[in-house]
């Protein structure tokens, strides 16, 4: 899976307008071959900050879409001041996709710098932690991505039913065991953030 990530700060008093516009952009993408899903996620700490995630089967599918009339049109007529982008890793490719059995709109986003030569250790650790997510409940999916234009950066996106279910995971003795027995020095965390998925377009 190919992922495009943006962080946008909506203009004051323009949240509804911005969401409507982004939803329209996603509706333009939706019928195109290779489109998987697009999400608008509100940061649970600042109501103007939003995470935008657009998923395609592969980069080629997105490149073909961008060459279409629809793919070229939406970037040309953006209302001034509706939102501003924040510098963030834009292009990612999935390396782990762990499914759950439940549905929810609570999203955990984490970014990590991976130590040189430690990608195998990182993926092994994440897979062990995903097993804990599955056992403690509330998981829709856990996905990890490798940045395409930054050699040693990983993105984690975990979708759960609620913050409460995530806290059950965080306080689980199973997670404590994984952390105590797992590899150390694998990565440096650059921060974890909590979001609510407020709009989603799927194929």
b/e 3-28 (16+ beta carbons within 10 angstroms → b): bebebbebbeebbeebbebbeebbeb
* Cα–Cα distance for residue pair 34/81, rounded to 1 Å: 31
Q: How far is CA 121 from its chain centroid?
A: 21
Residue 76 has pLDDT above 90, yes or no: no
| Fold match between domain 2-89 and domain 92-195 | yes
Q: How confident is the model at residue 161 (pLDDT cuts 50, 70, 90)?
A: very high
- Could you give the C-alpha distances from 1 to 6, 30, 61, 150, in angstroms and in order? 16, 16, 11, 17
Give residue-wise pLDDT tens across range 17-64: 999 999 999 999 999 999 999 999 999 999 999 999 999 999 999 999
pLDDT at 182: 87
Third-level CATH fold of 92-195: Alpha-Beta Plaits (3.30.70)
Mean pLDDT (whole number) for 124-141: 97
Q: What is the mean pLDDT of the chain?
A: 96
Residue 191 has pLDDT above 90, yes or no: no
CATH 3.30.70.100 is held by the domain 2-89: yes
Whether the CA torsion 52, 57, 62, 65 is positive or negative: it is negative
For the chain, the structural domain boundaries read 2-89, 92-195
Residue 75 has pLDDT above 90, yes or no: no
Residues facing 199 on adjacent strands: 40
pLDDT at 87: 87
């Amino acid at each position: 899976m190919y992922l495009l990530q943006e962080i946008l700060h909506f203009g004051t008093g323009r949240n509804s307008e911005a969401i409507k516009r982004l939803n329209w952009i996603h509706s333009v993408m939706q019928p195109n071959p290779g489109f998987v899903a697009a999400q608008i996620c509100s940061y649970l700490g600042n109501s103007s900050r939003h995470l935008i995630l657009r998923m395609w089967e592969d980069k080629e599918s997105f490149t073909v879409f961008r060459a279409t009339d629809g793919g070229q049109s939406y970037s040309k007529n953006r209302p001034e001041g509706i939102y501003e982008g924040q510098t963030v890793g834009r292009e990612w490719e999935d390396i782990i996709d762990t499914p759950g059995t439940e549905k929810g709109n609570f999203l955990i986003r984490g970014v990590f710098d991976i130590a040189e030569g430690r990608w195998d250790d990182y993926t092994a650790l994440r897979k062990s932690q995903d097993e804990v997510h599955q056992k403690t409940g509330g998981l829709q999916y856990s996905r990890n991505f490798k940045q395409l234009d930054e050699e040693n950066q990983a993105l984690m996106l975990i979708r759960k039913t609620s913050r409460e279910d995530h806290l059950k995971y965080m306080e689980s003795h199973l997670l404590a065991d994984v952390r105590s027995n797992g590899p150390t020095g694998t990565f440096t965390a650059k921060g974890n953030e909590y979001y609510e998925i407020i709009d989603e377009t799927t194929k």
